[in-house]
Structures are given as C-alpha cells and as structure tokens.
Chains A and B, each alone.
Chain A
Amino acid sequence: MSRKTLTRRQFVAATAMSSTALIAAPYVRGAYAAGKLSIGFWDHWVPDANKASTALVNEWAEKEKVEVSIDYITSQGNKLLLTMASEAQAKSGHDILSSQIGWQPHAYDDLLEPVNDVMEPVIKQNGEVNGTVKYLGQSGGKWLAVPGTAGSQIKGPCSRIDLMKKYANIDVQEMYPAGSPPKADNWTMDTFLKAAEACQKGGFPFGIGLGQTPDSIDTAGAIFQSFGAELVNAKGDITVKTDAVRQALEYYKKLIAFLPPDAPSWDDASNNKWLISGRGALIMNPPSAWAVAKRDAPQVAEQCWTHGFPSGPKGRFAPFQPFFWSIWKFSKNKEAAKSLLSHLSQPSAIERFVQASGGYDLPAYANMTTLKTWAEEAPPKGTLYHYPNPYNHQTLSIAAAPAPPKIAEQIYNQGTLTKMVLRYAQGEKMEDTLAWAESECEGFMRS
C-alpha cells in the first residue's frame, strides 16, 4: 500500500491557496441568510384564507431569504388571547403575533415594537386608516401594531331581502343598491325599531344577542354611540349618568321587546344560526353567516343583503373589529418582521386576502374598500357591495370608545353595555342600573 506524505511546504501552499480562494470568492447568499422568523397568525375560519397567507409569506421569505414558520392559532376558546398573554409573561415566543380583538396592542403596549416605519409608507400608499384603527393601534402618535386584513370585519346588518320587504316594507336593495351610494336617509333607529316590531309580529324577529360575547357587545356599542352615549369619555371621566345613556337604555328596552326571548344567552354562533335556519329577518354580523348559508341553506343565502347600520341622533355608527399584527420587542428578527408586515400590507397582498376569504376580510385603508370581490360576490350579486363601507357612509367604531383603551377594554370584555340594557329591560330602575354601571366603571380605572 503506497502512502503519499504531505510535506511542510505543500501544506503551507495548500492552506494559503484555499484561504485566498475563500476571501476572493464572490459572496453567495445561503438559503436562509436573513435568519428565522416565527409567526402566529389567526386561524381563519375560511379554509383557503390560511393558504393565501401562507403563500404570501412564502413568496416574501423566498425573496428575502428568511426561514419562516407559521402557526395558525384558533381564536376558539380564546386560544390566541391566551397565547399572547403567555408570550408576554414569558417574553418569548413568536416574532409576529396576530391579535384577535383590537384591544391587545394597548394592553401590551410596553412589550410591542413600534411600527411607524411600516405604517407611514403603507398609509401613504393605501390611504388613511379609519378612526377605530387609530384608536386601537396607536398610542401617543406611536403605531403599536399593523392593522391586519385577515379577520378584520364590520358587524353591520345582514338582512333578509324578502322578509324585510314583506313585513317591514323596506327594500334593502333599493336602500343600499349594489354599485352606487346608499339612499339610506330614512334608515334610522326609529325605522329600525319599527322594522324589528313588524318582523317580530310576522314571526321572524331580528336576531340580536344580549350576551357577553363580542357580537352582542358590538351591536350595543354602535347603538349607544348613535345616541352619543359614553360610559367613560376620552379624558377618562365617568359619564354614565347622562341623558344620552338614558336615551340609549330606553331605546334598547323597546328593542328587546321584539328580540327572541332567549337573546340574553346568545353567543357569537347564535345569530349565525338564527339567520341560516331562516328564523330571523336580520342579524348584525360580518358575512360569515351568509357564507355558511350559501353552503347549507342556499335559499336563505340568496335572500341576504349586507348593508349599513341605522343612524341615531348622533350619527350612523357601525361596529368595526380590526385585527392587528404586532411584533414583540423581544423578537430576534425585528427588521425581517417589519419587512414582512410591509409586504402583507401591499395592495396586491390585501386583494389576495380579501379574495381568499370571499370578501370577509376588511382592509383598514381608505383606498382599499372598492375591490372587485365585494362587487362580484353572489348570490345575490352585490350582496357584499356595501359591506366594506365604500362610501364612508357610516363611522366605523368599537364599543366603549372613546374611553381610554385600557378602560374601554374592561367595559367591552366584561360586557358592561349588554348587562346594563338587560338589567334595565328586566325591570331594574334606571337610576339603579346607572349606579351599578358607574360603580363598574370606577373599578375599571385601575392602572
């Protein structure tokens, strides 16, 4: 067996040559040169919507050479909320996390990376965001999170065309025609109340919940706001004992008489079931109920029309529930996270989100409310045309606003508004209800 020996000279020459080759060689970027990024997205109830997010993220990751991992976290059982709470405690977890209810950015403001550098160019490109997004996503001029398209929704009325025409003598398609501005000057709280009564007498009551889950609370919030009723004002003063609050309670008491008797125990699925089963003439919901009806009860779906909220003495308010994407301060790859969120906020990406969700997802930006998905979705054609508020016909709002978000969050999540209306409607004296709500709000002032 021959054995070749390496001389000292040969060794030095070989080492020098390989070092030179290494230094002189052109820089070749590795597959994941820009590091890793872990993302916790909201698990969309529309199956293909997750695929669209994954595709968008992967396209970006390939271009930017970032290794990404995505967890789709359900909001069922508040899993997403729990994930955020536990990651905040552990100061470890995903780099980017979706928030299922808009209150999270303020709740974790000191742990979130400011994203002004993402939001400023995006707003310039896509148009201004609505007031609720600013209220929930900004603190002292600092953007705490990026409004996410996936999951964001308006919970306005979804009416049955036939039943509203038959019992309330209201043509919702004429009031909110597809392709043109609303003619809804007469669509007021009084008209709404009369319609509720007529439909209830016809055997198809409006399906509005009075429980402690978001759908019930959001509707109560919009009705309170349309009367100018605030439990706590923007400065943080308790303003429960005002005429506006009294008016809102009186109105609700009248409305409750025409709602299903079991409405106090409704959760967020109850109104969907109410519409899909054909038992009600109207619910307050994003088009998820309609989408399920398309599959399970097509004869109901083809009679559904999503439109604007009735207006009250202080304006027309519609409940808006924005989702956010936030970056933790403890994220190890903030720059990549910002780059991804910027990518997901591009008009083309937003269009894909909207398309994949069948029009359910709503972008927060003014220039993005007239995408073709909403105009084309059917049956009936144009049923979602007015869903994204294309004519800024109503003020998008969230219950308990304009109270400082950390107080409003308590009012919202503890269902103070629906509890108030229920107490009063069940026979409690007005002043007792107000005193109870005032005491609750005092308790929410903790810092």
Chain B
Amino acid sequence: MADVVVEQGRVGRTSQRKGASLHNVLGRKSTVAFFLTLPLILVIALLVLYPAIYSVHLATLNKSMQKFVGLGNFTFLFKRETFWMVVKQSCIFAVTAVIFKALIGFIVAHFVHNIPGKKQRKWRGMLLVPWVIPPAMSTLAWLWLFDPSYSAFNYTLSFFGIGPIPWLGETFWARFSVILVNVWYGAPFFLIMYLAALKSVPDQLYEAAAIDGANWWQKIWYVTLPMMRNIIAITTLFSLIVTFANFDIVRILTAGGPLDTTQLFATWAFQVGIQSSDIPLGACVSLFMVPILAVAAIFILRDVTKRGNEA
C-alpha cells in the first residue's frame, strides 16, 4: 500500500512537474507570440506558400501539363529573345521607378516635416491620396490622360506648340509613361516611411551638428541619412519587390506594347500563361523574379543586420 502511495506521490510530482513545464512553455513570450501569429502563418501558408510551390510544380510541366519536363521550360526561355528583353525591361522599370520614388519621397518628406502642426496633417493626407486609390482605377485615369487620340496632356501641350507626343505609342515615351505612373503611385509610400523616420531623429543631433558648424547638406549627409539608413534599405527592398512584380499599371496603359517594349515579368507571364494558354511557361516566367529579388533582398538585408549588430 505504501508502495502505491509512494508511486502515486511520484506520479503526482511528475505530472505536477510536467504541468508546470507545460505552463512554463505556454507562459513563454515566444510561445504566446507563436500562437498569436499562427492564424497569419496559416493564411500565408495557404495563400502564398501553397501557390508558390504549386507554381514551381507547374513550371516543370510541358505545355499540355501532362508530362514532367524538369527544367526544360527554363532552358527554353533562355533561348527566347523576348524573355531577355523582359528581364532588361523589368530591371530598368523597377530600378528607375524605385530611385525616383525614393528621391521624391525623401524630398517631399523633408518639406512636409518642416510644415508646422495642423497644416502638416492636411498635407500628409493629401499627399497620400495616390497611394490609397486602387492602382487599377487611378491608372485608368492616367490612360485617359495619355490617350493616343484625345490626350489631355497633348491638348495642353498644343497651346505651347509642343507635340503631339505618342505617350504610349513609342518605346521611349511608353516606358516613360509607365514609370511615371508607378512613381506617382508609389512615392507617397516612401514619403510616409521617411517622414516617420525623420520624426525619430533626435533634435539634439542637429543642434550638435549646428554647433559644429554643419551646413544643411552636411546635416543631411552626416545626421539624417545615417539615422535613416535602415528604413531607407527596408523601404527600397519592399518597393523593389512590389515594383518588380508590377502588373496593373503596364497592363492597363500599354498591355506590354509597343512591340513588347514595356512588357514586365508579370504582364508577359499573363500573356504567355493565360492569354496564350501556356500556363507552365507563364509560371516559369513569373518564377524568374524570385532569384533576382532574392539576391537584392540578401544584399539589402545583410546590410541592415550588420548595422543592427553594430548598434
């Protein structure tokens, strides 16, 4: 009987310990955080991970999707002139648009930062408008402005004896137009991120710089930019990914024309995959964005981590 009592006591203690350790595990901040993010993880797995894996699977099939061809689709693409044109154009489009968005966002953020109190809120709200309108809708308005035959821009320019400019009909102007619309749409995102970063730069640093005799440029170069480096890097990376994968602006404005010279990865993937019923090749085209963006992400995030460690 005593043995049993002892056993029971041991069992009781073990279960108590187990209970306590489970309690400890559940009580840990990381566990709570994990459970709190679990719904999001599941949503991402379902809506991002599954389609991503599925598109890798699709990219390994032949056109009729009945045969496994391994990397055949990728090697096929390497031989296509249009594919290399799309790679080049996507890089031109994304890099140019991100540079201008960052530049405009940075400059305007400074202007807005210097506007006092209530007025700043109004300006902030107004400047965010392009970013909050669904791009498909705002791009339609741009399409009317660029309209080949009835362009409001050309109408205005005609008063100054300029034009008509083939906004969407010539390679240079078509590329200019799609980049312009992308910059118009995306610059407010940079503006708001940079504004937030600017507000977190301690005034004492500027005061110290002023005492040291720094001019406005030196203040930007030696104070503002170093303090904003991480946010600039993260914003650039994020924007690069989104701009690289852009679809709606090009699709609505030029549909990739003229002569495919504004075609990006996403628009060409759509044309090849959906319009021309070659889904495996379309999947393959869109997957090409991954290695390019992964390399950019590694470089940018490596720097962010390095600076984080230094700090």
Which A residues lie at the B interface, using CB under 8 A?
78, 81-82, 85, 89, 103-104, 107-108, 110, 211-213, 260-267, 270, 273-274, 277, 279, 406, 409-410, 413-415, 419, 422-423, 436, 439-440, 443, 446-447
Cβ B281 vs Cβ A446 within 8 A: yes
Interface residues of B: mostly helix, strand, loop or mixed? loop
Chain A proximity of B253: nearest CB distance (Å): 9
Chain A proximity of B108: nearest CB distance (Å): 31
Q: Which of B149, B170, B257, B278 is close to A277, meaning CB atoms less than 8 Å apart? A: B149
Chain A proximity of B194: nearest CB distance (Å): 34
A261 CA / B170 CA spacing, docked (Å): 10
Cβ B166 vs Cβ A262 within 8 A: yes
| Interface 0/1 of B168-205, CB less than 8 Å to A | 11100010000000000000000000000000000000
Q: Which residues of A contact B259 (CB under 8 A)?
A: 264, 419, 422-423
List 8 interface pairs A-B (beta carbons < 8 Å), by A numbering: A103-B277, A262-B149, A265-B258, A406-B277, A419-B260, A440-B82, A446-B62, A447-B62
Which B residues lie at the A interface, using CB under 8 A?
62-64, 76, 79-82, 148-150, 164, 166-170, 174, 254-260, 270-279, 281
Cβ B274 vs Cβ A82 within 8 A: yes
Closest to A279 in B: B149
Known: A274-B149, A422-B258, A447-B62. A78 touches B275 (CB 8 A): yes
Cβ A414 vs Cβ B271 within 8 A: yes
Closest to B281 in A: A446
Known: A419-B259, A422-B259, A447-B63. A263 touches B81 (CB 8 A): no
Q: Which residues of A contact B149 (CB under 8 A)?
A: 260, 262, 270, 273-274, 277, 279
A81 CA / B276 CA spacing, docked (Å): 10
Cβ A277 vs Cβ B150 within 8 A: yes
Q: Which residues of B contact A279 (CB under 8 A)?
A: 149
A414 CA / B85 CA spacing, docked (Å): 15
Q: Which residues of A contact B150 (CB under 8 A)?
A: 273, 277
Cβ A263 vs Cβ B76 within 8 A: no
Most chain B CB neighbours (cut-off 10 Å) among A82, A262, A440? A262
Chain A proximity of B81: nearest CB distance (Å): 7
Q: Which residues of B contact A104 (CB under 8 A)?
A: 277
Cβ A439 vs Cβ B81 within 8 A: yes
A206 CA / B271 CA spacing, docked (Å): 28
Q: Which residues of B contact A414 (CB under 8 A)?
A: 271-272, 276
Closest to B136 in A: A77
A261 CA / B164 CA spacing, docked (Å): 10
Closest to A261 in B: B166
Q: Which residues of B contact A261 (CB under 8 A)?
A: 164, 166, 169
Q: Which residues of A contact B271 (CB under 8 A)?
A: 413-414
Cβ A446 vs Cβ B278 within 8 A: yes
Cβ B279 vs Cβ A85 within 8 A: yes
Cβ A270 vs Cβ B276 within 8 A: no
Q: Which of B82, B164, B256 is close to A212, meaning CB atoms less than 8 Å apart? A: B256
A108 CA / B279 CA spacing, docked (Å): 12
Q: Which residues of A contact B170 (CB under 8 A)?
A: 264
Cβ B255 vs Cβ A78 within 8 A: no
A409 CA / B260 CA spacing, docked (Å): 17
Chain B proximity of A18: nearest CB distance (Å): 51
Closest to B54 in A: A89
Chain B proximity of A66: nearest CB distance (Å): 31
A329 CA / B279 CA spacing, docked (Å): 20
Q: Which residues of B contact A264 (CB under 8 A)?
A: 166, 169-170, 257-259
Chain A proximity of B252: nearest CB distance (Å): 9
Chain B proximity of A275: nearest CB distance (Å): 11
Q: Which residues of A contact B281 (CB under 8 A)?
A: 446
A149 CA / B183 CA spacing, docked (Å): 44
Q: Which residues of B contact A446 (CB under 8 A)?
A: 62-63, 76, 278, 281
Cβ B274 vs Cβ A85 within 8 A: yes
Cβ A447 vs Cβ B279 within 8 A: no
Cβ A265 vs Cβ B254 within 8 A: yes
A423 CA / B270 CA spacing, docked (Å): 23
Most chain A CB neighbours (cut-off 10 Å) among B169, B270, B273? B169
Known: A211-B255, A422-B259, A446-B63. A266 touches B275 (CB 8 A): no
Closest to B248 in A: A77
Closest to B80 in A: A443
Return the 10 tightest CB-CB contacts between A and B, nearest first.
A262-B148, A265-B169, A107-B277, A265-B168, A413-B276, A264-B258, A413-B275, A264-B169, A262-B169, A446-B63
Q: Which residues of B contact A277 (CB under 8 A)?
A: 149-150
Q: Which residues of B contact A410 (CB under 8 A)?
A: 276, 278
Q: Which residues of A contact B62 (CB under 8 A)?
A: 446-447
A11 CA / B255 CA spacing, docked (Å): 76
A447 CA / B61 CA spacing, docked (Å): 11
Q: Which of B148, B167, B258 is close to A270, meaning CB atoms less than 8 Å apart? A: B148
Cβ A213 vs Cβ B255 within 8 A: yes
Most chain B CB neighbours (cut-off 10 Å) among A78, A89, A213, A265? A265
Q: Which residues of A contact B273 (CB under 8 A)?
A: 85
Closest to B69 in A: A446
Q: Which residues of A contact B64 (CB under 8 A)?
A: 110, 447
Closest to B83 in A: A443
A203 CA / B255 CA spacing, docked (Å): 29
A381 CA / B35 CA spacing, docked (Å): 73
A277 CA / B150 CA spacing, docked (Å): 10
Cβ B274 vs Cβ A265 within 8 A: no
Cβ A212 vs Cβ B63 within 8 A: no
Q: Which residues of A contact B260 (CB under 8 A)?
A: 419
Chain B proximity of A394: nearest CB distance (Å): 27
A107 CA / B150 CA spacing, docked (Å): 38
Chain A proximity of B186: nearest CB distance (Å): 22
Q: Which residues of A contact B274 (CB under 8 A)?
A: 78, 81-82, 85
Q: Which residues of A contact B167 (CB under 8 A)?
A: 265
Chain B proximity of A410: nearest CB distance (Å): 5
Q: Which residues of B contact A413 (CB under 8 A)?
A: 271, 275-276
Chain A proximity of B74: nearest CB distance (Å): 13
Q: Which residues of A contact B254 (CB under 8 A)?
A: 265
Known: A265-B254, A436-B81. A81 touches B275 (CB 8 A): yes
Besides the known contacts A264-B170, A277-B150, A446-B63, 11 further A-B residue pairs in the complex with CB atoms under 8 A apart: A78-B270, A81-B275, A261-B164, A261-B169, A262-B164, A419-B259, A422-B258, A443-B79, A446-B76, A446-B281, A447-B62
Chain B proximity of A291: nearest CB distance (Å): 20
Closest to B272 in A: A414
Q: Which residues of B contact A85 (CB under 8 A)?
A: 273-274, 277, 279
Chain A proximity of B275: nearest CB distance (Å): 4
Q: Which residues of A contact B166 (CB under 8 A)?
A: 261-262, 264-265
A443 CA / B83 CA spacing, docked (Å): 11
